[in-house]
Amino acid sequence: MNQIKYKRIMLKVSGEALAGEARRGLDFDVIHGVCRAIKECTELGVQVGLMVGAGNFWRGVKDGADKMQRSHADAMGMLGTVMNSIAVADALSKHGVDARVLCAVEMNKFCEYFTRDLADRYLNEGKVVIIAGGTGNPYFSTDTGVVLRGVEIEADAILMAKNVDAIYSADPNKDPNAVRYTQLTYDEALAKHLQATDLTAMTLAMDNDMTLVCFGLAEENSIIRVVRGEDIGTTVKNKF
């Protein structure tokens, strides 16, 4: 236990990351890599909550813009998170990890309905809890969903595993002069209008004094390194 910094984590993995280089669908090499990292976390005694995005299938705002009513487009995105969650749960079982999919929307044929107490019970039993359906409401991103659930389950930190290795002042793929941050306060991130997460997620994390770590999923052993307290990516807190 002295090897870990965070005893209970809420991990967010983007749907695009699960798609690998194809950018669409599921890359099971990537998924099994994530599962191996999660298994190692559980073996260290870390309690793992997980939320997966759906950008590898559908983004409500982007894919449905000007073509669909926003609530309907967002509903499709929530369904995409359920598909991704079932896929990751299946992969975790192949690694000998007991996982449960809890969804913010009732769909008893596929997963259990999320409640804070049920999630807490499963985490204390050593199970990985995969939370699908975002917040269960339109107009909210899965970034907001992962912060909300992280606050509910009283996680020690929110871990955002993304396609970019840290928070930058601008898109590093477009601006070679983008500044890379290793530490930020929420006040700084909001004042600089940094696009680490959406504004609602950032504000919710700040209001609940939650530690947020944004890092690159593709970096070697990145999830384990963050759990052990290594300074990779960008850590955001109210104060340091």
181-207 pLDDT tens trace: 999 999 999 999 887 788 999 999 999
Picking from 206, 170, 171, 174, the residue whose alpha carbon sits closest to that of residue 190 is 206
> What local confidence, expressed as pLDDT, does residue 2 receive?
56
Any bridge partners for residue 103, and if so which? Answer: 113, 132
- CATH level 3 topology of 8-164+179-230: Carbamate kinase (3.40.1160)
Residues 6+ apart with CB under 8 A from 176: none
Given a contact cutoff of 8 angstroms between Cβ atoms, the answer to whether 16 and 23 are in contact is yes
Residues 6+ apart with CB under 8 A from 229: 4, 5, 6
Any bridge partners for residue 212, and if so which? Answer: 158, 236
- pLDDT higher than threshold 60 for residue 1: no
CA distance linking residue 193 with residue 172, whole number of Å: 15
- pLDDT higher than threshold 60 for residue 24: yes
CA distance linking residue 78 with residue 10, whole number of Å: 18
The pTM score is: 0.93
Any bridge partners for residue 52, and if so which? Answer: 13
99, two tokens:
């996982």
What's the number of CA atoms in the CB half-sphere (13 Å) around residue 232? Answer: 22
Domain range summary for the chain, segments of one domain joined by +: 8-164+179-230
CA distance linking residue 111 with residue 103, whole number of Å: 6
Picking from 165, 231, 215, 225, the residue whose alpha carbon sits closest to that of residue 37 is 225
Given a contact cutoff of 8 angstroms between Cβ atoms, the answer to whether 151 and 143 are in contact is no
Phi, psi angle pair for 110, to nearest 5°: -115, -30
- pLDDT tens for residues 60-106? 777 777 889 999 999 999 999 999 999 999 999 999 999 999 999 99
Output helix, strand, coil percentages for the chain, rounded to the nearest 5: 40, 20, 40
- pLDDT tens for residues 128-180? 999 999 999 999 999 999 999 999 999 999 999 988 899 999 989 899 999 99
Let me know the angle formed at the C-alpha of 21 by 19 and 25, rounded to the nearest 5 degrees. 25
